[in-house]
Amino acid sequence: MRGPHNIWRLVRTGATLERTGAMRVVLDAFDAPRPLRMAARVLGWPFKPLGHEGDMSMPSVTRALSALGPAYIKFGQILSTRPDLVGNDLANQLRVLQDKLPPFSREEALAAVSRELEMPADELFSEFSEPIAAASIAQVHRATLAETGETVAVKVLRPGVERAFRKDIDAFYLAANSIELLSPSSRRLRPLDVIQHFEGVVMGELDLRLEAASASQFASNTADDEGFRVPAVRWFSSARRVMTLDWAEGVPMGDNAALDAAGHDRAELSERVLQLFLKHALRDGFFHADMHQGNLKVAANGDIIAIDFGIMGHIDEYTRRVYAEILYGFIRRDYERVAEVHFEAGYVPADRDRDEFARALRAVGEPIFGMDATRISMARLLAYLFEVTERFGMETRTELILLQRTMVVVEGVARSLNPRMNIWSVAQPVVEDYIRNSIGPKAVLHDLRETAKVLSRFGPRLPSIVEDLLIMQSRTQTRDTGSWWRWRLGWTTLGLCIGGALGAGIVGLF
C-alpha cells in the first residue's frame, strides 16, 4: 500500500504542519539539513489553505497532530519517549499531548465484545456503561460481571482502527522514503528507523492480549510491594480486541485537593511513588513507562494503583547493575567510580581519557548537589549525564533513554505531590538495597549458581563432544598438528568434565 495513492495524505499532513507553524519546530528539532528545509517549504506553502487549523490554544506541534487524528497523536506520544531523536524541547511538548478523542457508541462497543469473545455481551455483563475514557486506539467502559457482580473495566479497540493506522503508517513510510530521496544527508536522522519503531509499538498496542500479558507480569512482579496494586486481568473476558481488568477505584493522583480531602499524606505518597518506580526498574527490570498522574490512582486505604500498560520498559540485569552503580556513585559523589563503570560497561570507548571523563562527570554532579532540596533533580542529572557521555562517544541506548524519560515523568508526579521532596534522600535507600543484593556477596553466590546451571547442562553432551573432537583429530595429517589437537583435546575434555561435575554438584547443593 506504500504507493502514490498516499500522496494526498502527505500533502494534507504537510499543509497542516505549515498552517499551524509546526513545520519549522519539527525541522529544527530534527536539525534537518538545508535542502530538506527548502523542499518542505516549497511543497508545504502552496497547500497551506488545505491544512487543518486545529485548536489555537495548543502549542503548534500538539495542535497539528491533534488535528490530523489518532495515528498522528499516537506518533507524537511515542516520539515523546525518544528525546534522543527529537530533542528535549519537542519531547516535553509532545509529552503533554492530549489523547482525548470523541468516543464511539456503546452499541458498537457491545457488538465488538460479542464478536471478539464469541458470546453475547449481555450474558457476560449485567451492566455496561457509556464510554468513560476515549483515546486514539481504544476506549474504556465500566461494567459489571453477570456471574459474580464484580465491577470491571473493559477496554475495546476502536472499530477499524487497525486499517486506519495501517493507512497512516504506509503514508509515513512514503514520507520517510521521500525525505531520504530529496535529501540524502537526512539519512543521519534515520527517518525509516523512526517509522519502524513507531510501527512496532503500535502493532503491539493493537493486540490487547499483549497489554494484558504486560499487566499480568507487572502484577506478579509487584505482588509483595506494600502500598501498590495492579488490577488483575480477567482472561476469560479478554481477547485480541477486548481486555477486561478489575475496576480501579481511587482518587486521581493529579487531584491534590481530592487527595487532601480524603486524608492522604501527599508527602508520603510522593516518596512512595518514586521509590516504587526505582524498585521496579532496578529489581525487576520491567517498569511502567507511562507513569503520569492520569495512569495513577490512590485507593481509599492509601494504595497506589497503576493502570494502562500499553507502554512498558525492559532493562536486562547487567544494564540494571550498571545503572545502579552509576546512581550510587553520584549519590556518594564518587565520580572516578562512575567513570570506571562507564568504561567497564563499554559505554565509553576505551581510547578516551578516563580522568577527563571523571572531571566532566564532576561538572555534572557538583552543581546539582549544591542546590536546595526543592531544586535537586535526578531527571536533570540524567539529562546532563547523557549529554556528557554522548560527547565522549557513547552510543545511544534506547532502554536508558526510555528510563530517563520515565524518570522525568515520575519525578514530576512526585514534585506535584510534595514540591520540597529531596529526590536523593528518597532514592538512596532503594539504590543501596539493590547494590547490596545485586553487586555484593549475595550477588556473587547467585551468579555462581546460574553459571553452575549452565555448566551442568554440558554433562549429558560430554560423550558426543569428546567424540567430535576425536574425529577432528583423526582428520589431521601432520604429526605436529595431531599433537596440537591431542593437547587441546585433553585440556578441553578435562575442563568440560570438571565443569560439568562441579556444575551438577553446586546445583545439587542449592
Residue-wise pLDDT for 327-346, tens only, equals: 888 888 899 999 999 898 88
Residue 481: is its pLDDT beyond 60? no
pLDDT of residue 510: 44
For range 470-489, the mean pLDDT: 56
- For residue 31, pLDDT over 90 is answered with no
Average pLDDT score over residue span 486-494: 52
CA distances from 36 to 32, 61, 117 (A): 6, 18, 49
52 or 298, higher pLDDT: 298
Distance in angstroms (rounded) separating the CA atoms of residues 69 and 62: 11
Provide the residue type at 225 as one letter.
Answer: D
Cβ atoms of residues 385 and 71 within 8 Å: no
Q: What is the mean pLDDT of the chain?
A: 80
pLDDT bucket at 501, cuts 50 / 70 / 90: very low
- Please say whether the dihedral angle defined by the alpha carbons of residues 473, 478, 481 and 484, taken in this order, is positive or negative: positive
Q: Examine the pLDDT at 389 and tell me if it is beyond 80.
A: no
Residue 224 has pLDDT above 80, yes or no: yes
Say which amino acid occupies 271.
E
- How many CB atoms neighbour CB 268 within 10 A? 13
Q: Which three cell numbers stand for residue 432?
A: 543501596
Find the mean pLDDT for residues 227-233.
96
Does residue 207 have a pLDDT over 60?
yes
User: What is d(CA 109, CA 321) in angstroms, rounded to the nearest whole number?
Assistant: 45
For 316, which DSSP code? -
Q: 318 vs 490, which has greater pLDDT?
A: 318
pLDDT for the residue numbered 250: 95
pLDDT band at 411 (very low <50, low <70, confident <90, very high): confident
**Helices 378-391 and 423-438 sit at what angle, rounded to 10 degrees?**
60
105 vs 129: CA distance, rounded Å: 11
Q: How many angstroms separate the CA atoms of 242 and 49, rounded?
A: 40
Higher pLDDT, 428 or 86: 428
> 160 pLDDT exceeds 80?
yes
Q: How far is CA 263 from CA 225, 258, 295, 414, in A?
A: 22, 9, 21, 17
Per-residue pLDDT band at 291 (split at 50, 70, 90): confident
Residue 505 has pLDDT above 60, yes or no: no
Distance between CA 284 and CA 286 in Å, rounded?
Answer: 5
Confidence of residue 440 (pLDDT cuts 50, 70, 90): low
Could you tell me which of 305, 379, 290 has the C-alpha nearest to residue 99? 290
d(CA 411, CA 408) in angstroms, rounded, equals 5
Q: Tell me the C-alpha distance between 207 and 218, whole Å.
A: 17
Is pLDDT above 70 for 81? no
**Distance (Å, whole) CA 125 – CA 145:** 5
Confidence of residue 365 (pLDDT cuts 50, 70, 90): confident
What local confidence, expressed as pLDDT, does residue 448 receive? 64
For the segment 240-255, the average pLDDT, to the nearest whole number, is 94
Among residues 260, 353, 254, 261, the alpha carbon closest in space to that of 297 is found at 254
> Is-contact 361 391, C-beta < 8 A?
no
What is the crossing angle of helices 22-29 and 34-44, to 10°? Answer: 160
Active centre residues (catalytic) = 290
pTM score, whole prediction? 0.74
Mean pLDDT value across residues 184-195? 67
For 91, the grid coordinates are: 519531547
Q: Find, among 328, 347, 329, 345, the residue nearest to 337 by Cα.
A: 329
Place 85 in a pLDDT band, splitting at 50, 70 and 90: low
Q: Is 198 helix (H, G, I), strand (E, B) or coil?
A: helix
Q: Read off the C-alpha cell for 258.
A: 481530592
* Mean pLDDT, range 253-259, rounded to an integer: 92
pLDDT above 70: residue 76:
yes
pLDDT of residue 21: 83
Q: Over 60: is that where the pLDDT of 394 sits? A: yes
Judged by DSSP in three states, 132 sits in strand
Mean pLDDT check: name the lowest of 280-289, 403-412, 433-442, 480-489: 480-489
Q: How much is the pLDDT for 238?
A: 96
